[in-house]
Amino acid sequence: MRQQTLFIVLLFFVSAMANCQVSMNEKFEKSWNTSDTIEKRMLREDIAVKSPDSEYGLFCRAWFLTLKSDNVAALEMYSKAIELKSDFWQAYNNRGILYAGLADYDKAVTDYTKTIELNPVFADAYINRGILYQNLKDYTKAISDYNKAISINPNDAETYYNRGITYLYSGDLSGSISDFNKAIEINPAFGGAYYNRGGAYYSTGNKTKACEDWNLAYKFGIMDAKEALNRFCK
């Protein structure tokens, strides 16, 4: 009878642990998907306090460290989370962001690529890798990643803007103007898109449209547009 009682207790303990893990997983997913920053913070605080050494607890602790700009310690936490959960694509993505910020570009690309391997429909990983390739002046790879991100989410103004910048850097003025047009169509108050479209128009010799765009960019808070207006639109 004593052994039977112990067996029942053990079953209850295992079941409770499993339910707790499911609860933490659900809570983490909710914290990942919510756009409410207060809710995100509260959920992650709860996970970090109640399950600090689980993969989700380590992720949340790393996230809070990044808010304090303690990125080296955050990297270690994300790495520990990945050791516990090898398919933890959110941790790979966030660690990639930190590596990129620390100028460790090879590791950043590796982590973004792993994120994409684990979750091929996560558009942000393509965007993050695209920005990195853009900064490394590998414009072909950057455009390819932005193309994939747009195929997943065709209504994101920032992705069209980023691809437009890449086209601008690579000398494709027509492509850049087209993407800035799309970014502005989605977000008519996108000051950066007006500013850079103005630069593209100026490079094509269309001073009138350039000055119109710089006026709009200044209206939407791009202070550099004032200098462009003073230099080129007098």
Tens of each residue's pLDDT in the chain, 234 residues: 444 444 444 444 344 444 445 488 999 999 999 999 999 999 999 999 999 999 999 999 999 999 999 999 999 999 999 999 999 999 999 999 999 999 999 999 999 999 999 999 999 999 999 999 999 999 999 999 999 999 999 999 999 999 999 999 999 999 999 999 999 999 999 999 999 999 999 999 999 999 999 999 999 999 999 999 999 998
Residue 64 within a domain? yes
Does 88 map to a domain? yes
Instruction: Name the domain count of the chain.
Output: 1
For residue 107, tell me if it sits in a domain.
yes
Q: What is the domain-level CATH number for residue 89?
A: 1.25.40.10
**Backbone torsion region of residue 175, taken as left when φ is above 0, otherwise alpha when ψ lies between -120 and 50, otherwise beta:** alpha
Q: Which residues constitute the domain of residue 77?
A: 39-112
Taking the C-alpha atoms of residue 71 and residue 79, their distance in angstroms, rounded to an integer, is 12
